[in-house]
Structure 1
Amino acid sequence: MLPPVPDSPRHPAPTDPPTTETRTVRGRSANDVVRGRQHLTRDEVHRLIRAARDNRQGQRDALMLRLAFEHGLRVSELVGLRWSAVDLVHHELRVTRAKGSLDGTHPLQGDTVRALKRYQRDSGRSAGLVFVSERGAPISADGFRRLLHRLSERVLGVKWHPHALRHACGVHLINQGVDLRTVQQYLGHANIQNTVAYTALTGRPFERLSF
């Protein structure tokens, strides 16, 4: 076999024809553009909770959405929640945070306590993971993502990701006038700059301005 002939300056090797690429903004999907924001509103969350009750595992699904929103849980924190962290006597939830965030203890709302008690009674389970499948297997983070994708697309017309529930919690607290340090502790932020970012998602810093 003859060795390859090197390219000659007088006879350059042909180059591939230019291609046309369709680019999207890095980190943003079509759903991001349609939503126009990264957080759900309180009313949207409640619409999802009500709609989730019609699911095959409606009691469980609605409760997962409620806890994720009310306690600003990441999806990994939600699916990893255990009954040992739920105190139905003193109405408290011990939140074990992921990603280097700070753990904390939250008060449980009255409606949430009643929902937890019903779910515990109807499921016949009070130990181990709080949320499991019909066969008793753990629910994966991807499983909850798919659940929320289907539900939000049906109810709100666009797919939402689980982290939007955590963002919804932070935005709601700030809109309620809760101070930044308290929001920081509630969400487990080690750095308050992560909490400050939520103020940009609300109109509260500018509410005293007039034009």
Structure 2
Amino acid sequence: MAELTCLSDGMRDALARWQDTLRAVDGRAENTITAYRSDVQGFLSFLAVHFGDSLGPAALGRVKVADMRAWMAQERAAGLSARSLARALSAVKTFAGWLAEREGYDVTAILATRSPKFRRKLPRPLAEDAARAMLDTVEIQSGEPWVAARDVAVVTLLYGCGLRISEAIGLRGADWPFGEALRIRGKGNKERIVPVLAAASDAVAEYVALCPHDLAPEEALFRGKKGGALNPRLIAKVMERSRLQLGLPASATPHAMRHSFATHLLNAGGDLRSIQELLGHASLSTTQAYTAVDTARLMEVYRSAHPKA
């Protein structure tokens, strides 16, 4: 993280107030706020050296297009990827826009800077038969029946409900029994309602029946062997062992089960807007990546099967 010694008290105060706004008003996740702060501090530290003096809030109004180009060139030369630079620029624009709105500075040069182009990574879902095989194989990784049931329950929630691993691990005893739907608090503290399939409820019910620990309402639903909250790394490890046995690629991770949920739902005729709501994506453009996966797979089939391809 960039040092703050080159920033004036006013700039440090502005940074702190901006973070408070991201947290309280925008509902951004702490990991997002931490990443944004690091990106913005790096930019401000560059400006302090570039301008040759202690940096106050008004300095953002002095930034020209050439200054932005110099910062981006330095970051790329230091090895920052185009994707990471695009994220850093987004953070800088968010901060500059917030400050300009409150202080009246002209930050047009910052806001008008174009993001570097990069190829977005497509989600890497499992095929339907591979997803089912993963569930079956996860079940046989542990000799302790309650641990095996726990691992299957968690992975079933990832695939059957499209949950993030953090969302599944974050469920509390009070959330059980699920009923027909779950109220999930995801990224940015945003809530969404997720339908629960019978298979997911059944998997969790088996785990709850076998779990030797008291699943108090305020405590974690999924537990480690010693009774503490389950470490998500354990689910990643059990899936890693399973994928090696199945001969699946390294991309067969817990998050791939969520990708599989979305892709298989889309293939079955689900509409993008509904899938966006189920996944908790803030932007439809994020969900649209699954249409690219479907198109890419279709072209692979075309190239392999068409006589003139």
Task: Output the TM-score relative to the length of structure 2.
Answer: 0.51
2:163 aligned partner: 73
What CA distance in whole angstroms lies between the structure 2 residues aligned with 1:39 and 1:101? Answer: 26
> Unaligned stretches of 5+ in structure 1?
1-25, 28-35
Kindly provide the CA deviation profile for residues 165-195 of structure 1, in whole angstroms up to 9, marking residues without a partner as x.
Answer: 1111111111011111100100001100001
What CA distance in whole angstroms lies between the structure 2 residues aligned with 1:41 and 1:101? Answer: 31
Structure 1 SS opposite 2:223: coil
Structure 1 SS opposite 2:293: coil
Alignment of 1:43-192 (within 5 A): 43-56=129-142, 57-88=147-178, 90-98=179-187, 100=188, 102-123=190-211, 125-127=214-216, 128-159=219-250, 160-192=252-284
1:33 aligned partner: none
2:126 aligned partner: 40
The one of the two structures with greater contact order (alpha-carbon pairs below 8 A, sep at least 6) is: 1
What CA distance in whole angstroms lies between the structure 1 residues aligned with 2:288 and 2:235? Answer: 28
Deviates more, 1:56-65 or 1:150-159: 150-159
What CA distance in whole angstroms lies between the structure 2 residues aligned with 1:106 and 1:79? Answer: 15
Structure 2 SS opposite 1:130: coil
CA separation of 1:143 and 1:85: change in aligned 2, threshold 3 A? same
Please report how far the alpha carbon of residue 101 of structure 1 lies from its aligned counterpart in structure 2 after TM superposition: 6.9
Kindly provide the CA deviation profile for residues 25-78 of structure 1, in whole angstroms up to 9, marking residues without a partner as x.
Answer: x99xxxxxxxx9711122211101111221222111111111011122222222
**Superposition CA RMSD, Å:** 3.0
What CA distance in whole angstroms lies between the structure 2 residues aligned with 1:168 and 1:205? Answer: 14
CA separation of 1:59 and 1:194: change in aligned 2, threshold 3 A? same
Please report how far the alpha carbon of residue 205 of structure 1 lies from its aligned counterpart in structure 2 after TM superposition: 11
> Unaligned stretches of 5+ in structure 2?
1-81, 84-121
Kindly provide the CA deviation profile for residues 136-188 of structure 1, in whole angstroms up to 9, marking residues without a partner as x.
Answer: 12222322222221221112343322211111111111101111110010000
Number of residue equivalences: 175
Identity among equivalent pairs (%)? 26
Paired amino acid for 1:91? E
Contact kept? 2:160, 2:200, Cα under 8 Å: no
Structure 2 SS opposite 1:105: strand
